A and B are shown apart, each in its own frame.
Chain A
Amino acid sequence: MENLGYSPDQKMSPNLKLASKSKVKELRKYTAALLLLAPLLLFILAFFVVPMLYVFYLSFIEVEGLDISNASYSIGNYLTFFSDSYFLRSLWMTMKVSIYAVIIALILGYPIALTMAKSSAKVRGYLTLLVASPLLISVVVRNFGWYLLLVPNGVVDQFLMKLGIIDSPLKLLFSVEGVVIGLANSFLPFMVLSIATSLYNIDPSLEKASSILGASPLKTFLTVTLPLSLPGVVAGIVLVFSMSMSSYVTPALMGGANVPVLPIVIYEQINTLFRWTFGSAISYILLGVTLISVTIFSRIFERKFKEVFR
């Protein structure tokens, strides 16, 4: 303490008194803040953090059938997953479906975002409304529309047959293609909004400078706009990929038993077969694989385009 230099009978300096008073005040402030934060903090700890840790712990318990009495700690659940070709195929299918969904969302999403960036504030507002609104409508409802479109002899089949492009139904429903279409449709808004945000941040004078210096619109796009929008593109890809990886409803409705992606397997293990410890392990495998793929992907991009990512 600072008052060590003072003799005991000396009075406390007024400065010090003030300091201790403000310290008390600060302490009281923190107590108030903690009291206000406590309900939600406890809630999140009790019903989010602890359950997630509990499931992680369970994933290291191996159970024979449903009998918990002969449970043992091991990485057996993880070994089972990685040594069974059914589960490995399911993991690969999940990744494949998610990558396809990302590609479709990128191809359709980038032009939409570009149009939004180049429009007047009013048109941009309408486009944002059109793009973001579907996110507020239940995914079941949006998938039902695709169900009607893709069902054998449904809207798409009839349209293409009338045009003479195909002469028998495409069988898009209950297939990988159907799931990819459903996922791309569900998550396209996130791609558009991510890319649009980074396009809005581009200084328009850069594009002007490029065209004044004689670059064609295409060259300006390829050398100025596109590189500067990459952070948004990467963010969009990461979002759409991770949401597709863990999507349950769309594969269940559009793929059925034909497209057993990992979320379907997890649901089946936990909710139908009650193999909780194994289901917990698959859940963490899904989280891990998603996190690792996303990290590797964005690292590669950030390294390759250092200037753009600061």
Chain B
Amino acid sequence: MKAARITVTVIGLIFLLIPLIVTIGASFTTAGYPTFPPKGFSLQWYEKILDRPEYMSAFFNSVKFAFLAAFFSVLLGTIAGLALAKYNLPGKTFIVSLLTSPLTIPHLVLGAALLIYFTPMLLAGKPIGFIIAHVVICVPYAIRFVLTGLSGFDYTLERAGMVLGANPFMVFWKITLPIIRPAIFSGAMFAFLISFDNVTVSLFMVSTNMRTLPLELFFHMQDSYDPMVASVSSIVILISAIFIVIFEKIYGIGKLFGGS
């Protein structure tokens, strides 16, 4: 029985990871179409990315939007998270589930609803609409990180600061913030990645000149069979891998998804 379990485990892991392996492998091909195993070895499909303005601008769009979405998510999420953790408000569970409720609605439905809602407000197809939509999907994660970070927080430390004469701002800056900084940092990185990876909500929010990298890949995959999709995808995998390593070091990746 044990042998059977291990065999299926290995098959399952291969099933899970093989698309990534194939993509990275195919990006090194010398052929004019993606092949796996790659024909020969070359970096030409990486060099050629630099000549393709649409990929470059999509990459910078992605970084810019994800950074702003993460910043505002963490800002709003931290302020709300601090209030929720510190004061034992009546209906606290209700407020937390209201603030994290965007997690329960599929991105497709949310994106469609926001497009319909934004159009009369003239926010559709504008960067600001895009960022608002991404903050909606990222902010629940930011709150969760802050609440987890504050779960064991010792409020006597804040009181000690007050007693010693610090004003509330100083107390926050010198005591509270340094203690929850890792939680805020992880929340920001997670929010960045959620925004950076998103396709479905973005699809409804972009105009042609503000496509993000995953969107550019999505459209290219639908109309051409080009090894550059493989090389750009590999770069996305590399970026994600860097984030994954940092997460694993400071947080433990299993905890991100409720495991242990």
A253 touches B83 (CB 8 A): no
Q: How far is the CA of A179 from the CA of B221 in the complex (A)?
A: 15
Residues on the B chain within 8 Å of A141, using CB:
19-20, 23, 214, 217, 233, 236-237
Our pick among A108, A139, A142, A283 for the contact of B112 (Cβ within 8 Å) is A283
Q: Which of B42-50, B93-101, B148-156, B180-188 lies at the binding interface?
A: B93-101
A144 and B229 contact, CB distance less than 8 A:
yes
In this complex, the member of B82, B83, B136, B139 whose beta carbon has the largest number of chain A beta carbons within 10 angstroms is B83
The CA-CA distance from A192 to B101 in the complex, in Å, is 24
In the assembled complex, the CB of B11 is this many whole angstroms from the nearest CB of chain A, namely: 7
- Please provide the chain A residues from 102 to 160 with a CB less than 8 Å away from any CB of chain B in the complex: 107-109, 111-112, 114-115, 125, 127-149, 151, 154-155
Whether, in the assembled complex, A211 has its beta carbon less than 8 Å from a beta carbon of chain B, the answer is no
Q: Which residues of A contact B107 (CB under 8 A)?
A: 246, 248
Contact (Cβ within 8 A) A134 B17: yes
Would A144 and B217 be within 8 Å (CB), given that A128-B254, A188-B16 are in contact? Answer: yes
Q: Which of B79, B133, B221, B258 makes the CB contact (< 8 A) with A197?
A: B258
Docked Cα-Cα span, A242 to B257, in Å, equals 17
Please give me the 8 A-B residue pairs with the lowest Cβ-Cβ distance, nearest first: A145-B19, A246-B106, A36-B83, A108-B12, A51-B117, A111-B8, A138-B197, A128-B254
Q: For chain A, what secondary structure do more than half of its interface residues adopt (helix, strand, loop), or is it mixed? A: helix
Interface flag for A37 (CB, 8 Å)? yes
Q: How far is the CB of B189 from chain A (nearest CB, A)?
A: 10
Tell me which residues from 240 to 270 in chain A have a Cβ below 8 Å from any Cβ of chain B: 242-243, 245-249, 252-253, 256, 263, 266-267, 270
- Nearest-neighbour CB distance to chain A for B13, whole angstroms, equals 6
What total of A-B pairs shows CB separation below 8 Å? Answer: 269
Q: How many whole Å from A294's CB to the nearest CB in chain B? A: 11
Asked, given contacts A137-B20, A140-B221, whether A40 binds B139 with beta carbons under 8 Å apart, the answer is yes
B132 located at the interface, meaning its Cβ lies under 8 Å from any Cβ of chain A in the complex: yes
B171 at the A interface (CB under 8 A): no
**Cβ contact within 8 Å between B221 and A52:** no
Q: How far is the CB of A131 from chain B (nearest CB, A)?
A: 7
Cα–Cα, bound, A286→B112 (Å): 13
A82 contacts the other chain (CB 8 A)? no
Mark each residue of chain B from 249 to 260: 1 if its CB lies under 8 Å from any CB of chain A, else 0.
000111011111
A192 neighbours in B (Cβ, 8 Å) = 12
Q: Which of A13-59 contact B (CB under 8 A)?
A: 29-30, 32-34, 36-37, 39-41, 43-44, 47-52, 54-55, 58
CA distance A75 to B173 in the complex (A): 55
Bound-state CA distance A217–B134 (Å) is 49
User: Does B63 touch A at the CB level, under 8 Å?
Assistant: no
Say yes or no: is B166 at the interface (Cβ < 8 Å to chain A). Answer: no
Interface string of B30-62 (1 = CB under 8 A from A): 000010100000000000000000000000000
A47 pairs with B86, CB closer than 8 A: no
Contact status B9-A111, CB under 8 Å: yes
User: Inside 8 A of A48's CB, which chain B residues have their CB?
Assistant: 101-102, 105, 110, 136
Q: Does A77 contact B (CB under 8 A)?
A: no
Which of the residues A47, A221, A248 comes within 8 Å of B114, measured between beta carbons?
Answer: A47
CA distance A33 to B5 in the complex (A): 51
Q: Is the CB of B259 within 8 A of A193?
A: yes
**A267→B221 contact, CB < 8 A:** no
* Contacting residues, chain B, for A139 (C-beta < 8 A): 197, 199
Which residue of B is nearest A287, CB measured?
A: B109
Say whether A196 faces chain B, with CB atoms less than 8 Å apart: yes
Is the Cβ of B105 less than 8 Å from the Cβ of A143?
Answer: no
Judge whether B115 is part of the interface by a CB distance below 8 angstroms: yes
B169: interface (CB < 8 Å)? no
Contacts A137-B20, A149-B19, A253-B221 hold; do A132 and B236 have CB atoms under 8 A apart? no
